[in-house]
């Protein structure tokens, strides 16, 4: 079945459906680049575009043939959506792409030595064992030894008091 007009306005493209939009939107979006070029050059009117849509059997959401009012309204929406998609694509980082950098391509990070191994910590002090711990106090002055003894006594008293309170419920 040959076309009535052998020279087509736009080259036929595969039309992709867009959710929430009808056939007019999908057709205009598929042919956006071609139609925008023709409209910018002032070569064709909406009547020519609509005639091309009718040849491709494009229908609106209600199944009717496209009319100029609907086509021009949908065209504005298509232009906005295409511009928005182009902005999003420009902002999106391409997969495998690199961000611009001022670092020299020959730069390599410095080799850092691993942290030193810490000595093992002493075993935790058991309750009631503070006063009986055998410490080497030979390096301390007499005042320091006296202070350490007072701190140990204080800690042992606190431990004993907590034991009495919490073991026997002596609130």
| Average predicted confidence (pLDDT) for the chain | 75
Residue 97 maps to a domain: no
Is residue 85 in some structural domain? yes
pLDDT mean over 69-97: 80
In the predicted structure, residue 13 carries a pLDDT above the cut 60: no
**CA-only gyration radius of the chain, Å:** 42
CB 29 within 8 A of CB 72: no
Opening angle at CA 88, ends 84 and 91, nearest 5? 140
The answer to whether residues 52 and 8 touch, using CB atoms and an 8 Å cutoff, is: yes
- Is 71 domain-assigned? yes
Q: What is the mean pLDDT of residues 33-58?
A: 81
Give the number of domains in the chain: 2
In a domain, residue 115? The reply is no
User: Does residue 107 form part of some domain?
Assistant: no
If pLDDT is split at 50, 70 and 90, which confidence band does 4 have?
A: very low
Q: Quickly count: other Cβ atoms within 10 Å of residue 163's Cβ.
A: 13
Shared domain check, 87 and 36: yes
In the chain, the N- to C-terminal Cα span, in Å, equals 101
The C-alpha atoms of residue 104 and residue 101 are separated, in whole angstroms, by: 8
**Residue 18 CB-half CA count within 13 A:** 17
| Residue 32: band (very low, low, confident or very high) from pLDDT cuts 50, 70, 90 | confident
Most confident of 64-73, 118-127, 134-143: 64-73
Q: Is residue 46 part of a domain?
A: yes
* pLDDT bucket at 103, cuts 50 / 70 / 90: confident
Final residue belonging to a domain, choices 91, 122, 144: 91
Given 91, 115, 139, the domain boundary residue is: 91
148-160, pLDDT tens digit by residue?
Answer: 899 999 999 998 8
Q: What is the pLDDT of residue 6?
A: 44
* Containing structural domain, residue 170: 130-171
Please check whether residue 33 lies inside any domain of the structure: yes
Q: What is the pTM of this model?
A: 0.46
């Amino acid at each position: 079945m040959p076309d009535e007009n052998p020279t087509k306005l736009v080259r036929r493209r595969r039309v992709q459906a867009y959710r929430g939009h009808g056939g007019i939107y999908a057709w205009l979006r598929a042919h956006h680049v071609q139609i925008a070029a023709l409209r910018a050059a002032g070569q064709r009117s909406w009547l020519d575009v609509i005639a091309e849509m009718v040849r491709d059997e494009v229908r609106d959401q209600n199944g009717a043939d496209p009319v100029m009012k609907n086509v021009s309204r949908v065209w504005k929406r298509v232009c906005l959506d295409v511009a928005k998609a182009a902005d999003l694509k420009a902002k999106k980082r391409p997969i495998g792409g690199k961000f611009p950098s001022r670092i020299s391509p020959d730069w390599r990070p410095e080799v850092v030595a691993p942290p030193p191994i810490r000595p093992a910590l002493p075993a935790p002090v058991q309750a009631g064992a503070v006063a009986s711990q055998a410490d080497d106090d030979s390096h301390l002055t007499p005042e320091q030894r006296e202070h350490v003894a007072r701190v140990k006594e204080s800690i042992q008293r606190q431990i004993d008091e907590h034991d009495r309170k919490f073991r026997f419920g002596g609130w």
